[in-house]
A and B are shown apart, each in its own frame.
Chain A
Amino acid sequence: MRAVIRIAAWLYAIAVYGFIFLPVVVLVLFSLQATSFPIPPFTGPSLRWYQAVLSDARLTSALVNSLLVAVLSSLASVTLGFLSAWGFARFVLPGSAVLRGLITLPLTVSYLIIGMGLLVLFNWAGVPKSLLAAGIGHVVINLPLCFAIIYSQMGDHQINIERAARDLGAPEWKVLLMITVPVMAPAIFAGFFLSMTFSWDEFVISFLLTRFETTLPVEIWNLLRSGLNPKTNAVGSLVFAVSIVLVVFFELTLLRRKPA
């Protein structure tokens, strides 16, 4: 009886893994197929569609745009998040709990609604659709995340180091740059890389707020209008590869985190 349950459990686990990996395996497999349709039967490997993607100016410039928006918006998110986390963790502020709640509030609202709100506001204010507008939206969704991660990692042991530095005569900016930033580096990196993965993959806000120059997910969306297309498979596989690299960085920074 126990053996039967064990076998059933393993079969179940394998089935769920199969379900989870099925679309990804199909995606990568048919990105390597030379024929014009990404459908079975699989007819041998070819890098033809990867070449097609890399020589497609629209896709490569969208890729550069995506990286640019991801890096800059993540830098902004992590900077604003870090400064506010430090401020809230180290100083007594009136209404602190309410203000912290305000900063984390966007986490509970769907991206579609955040994008819609910005679209209406920018439309009224006469701000044109652009990568900058989309980047502003990306900071709105990633700032609460960076704040929450960094704030949760601000422990008491860091306060003593900061106080020691102050007692030795360091001015506030020196304490911040030479003590707090290095001590908090793992949380800061974790916030940065997590923001990168979210911004890099974000679609709805970019779709609503950009027009001519746009990000990769939006370009992929445009590709989808032409139906099943092996180029989409190739570009999808490339996006997957980049995301995995970001996730590995994220894992490494989180794993190096010192216990608080």
Chain B
Amino acid sequence: MTFTGHNGRALPWALVTPALAWTLLFFVLPFVAMGLSSLTAHEGDGFTLANYSQFFTDSSYWRAMVNSLEVTAIVTVISILLAYPFAWILAEMVPERWQRLALMLAVLPFWTSYVVRSYSWLLVLAQNGVINRALTGIGLTAEPLQLANTRFATVTGFVHFFVMLLTLTIFANLKQLSPSYRKAAADLGAGPVRTFLHVVLPLTLPGIMVGAFLTFVLCIGDYITPQILGGNNELVMPQLVMMQIGRRGDFPLASALSIILMAVVTVAYLACARWLKIERA
């Protein structure tokens, strides 16, 4: 139900214009600036596609994109596999009155500083960190393992974050599921395994896909976790972008890399949106 106020058409525009102006000025315009910048050379005039062709011809740049995609895929799959049973246990086995508390506890570390959370994994995984001290202490390994500054560390840091996120989304999905579906399946003679595979899982799949997409976007665009935990052994795209700015002040190349990164996310979004639409039809 809507209506036009006494002031006619001026009032509604006065209400929405500040937010629109802010978005245009500080989101759309910067994006245009970045696009234009990506078409210029670091030093020199005129427009060029050199920054883009550099990405497609230089194998070390390609490598960063491949690393990004690999790490993101591994993180997404592991996080879903870990979070689904956990969310299921919270939704099905924890008594109703404790569920809110159980869920709040499960996402509590969300609220530590993101930078600090990656750092605290370093305390756990470092040469003289908690895990290595424990392993050498009980005599399982003689030498401390190289855990920090590896892909393993990056993946661990990411999975830690996304298990919390996916637990939230999958839990919400499972709670929305009407119990009558499962009752109906049981009445028709399906065992728990079949009920899960043929009823619960398909019905929660759209939720999982939304969670997976969120994981993909946040993971592939993140600089902090790979930089702190992965080190500089194996660069991912955001590290490459930051490197162009930090070490070389090469804004055009950094802009081009950002736009390529955004294009990949957009493709993933389109793929996901299409898939979800088919699912709903």
Contacts and interface: CB of A to CB of B under 8 A. Distances in A.
B224 interface: yes
A164 interface: no
Interface in A209-227: 216-217, 220-221, 224
B205 interface: no
Contacts of A38: 123
A221 B224 CA distance: 9
Interface residues of B, number: 81
Contact of B119 (A16, A105, A216, A232): A232
B209 interface: no
Q: What is the predominant secondary structure among interface residues of chain A facing chain B?
A: helix
A177 B152 CA distance: 54
A206 to B, nearest CB: 11
A121 B30 contact: yes
A97 B84 CA distance: 34
A27 B82 contact: no
B163 A16 contact: yes
Contacts, number: 250
Interface stretch (A44-52, A181-189, A235-243): A235-243
Contacts of A19: 160, 163
A191 B79 CA distance: 28
B117 interface: yes
A116 B108 CA distance: 30
Contact of A110 (B27, B117, B265): B265
B22 A23 contact: no
A20 B164 contact: yes
A22 B109 CA distance: 10
Contact of B19 (A20, A103, A118, A166): A103
Interface of B: 1-7, 11-16, 18-20, 22-24, 26-31, 33-34, 37, 82, 85-86, 89-90, 93, 104-106, 108-109, 111-117, 119-124, 126, 128-130, 133-134, 160, 163-164, 217-218, 220-224, 228, 238, 241-242, 245, 251, 254-255, 258, 261-262, 265, 269
Interface of A: 6, 9-10, 12-13, 16-17, 19-24, 26-27, 30, 37-41, 80-81, 83-84, 86-93, 99, 102-103, 105-106, 108-114, 116-121, 123-124, 136-137, 139-140, 143, 147, 156, 159, 163, 166, 171-172, 197, 201, 203-204, 208, 216-217, 220-221, 224, 228, 232-233, 235-236, 239-240, 243-244, 246-247, 251
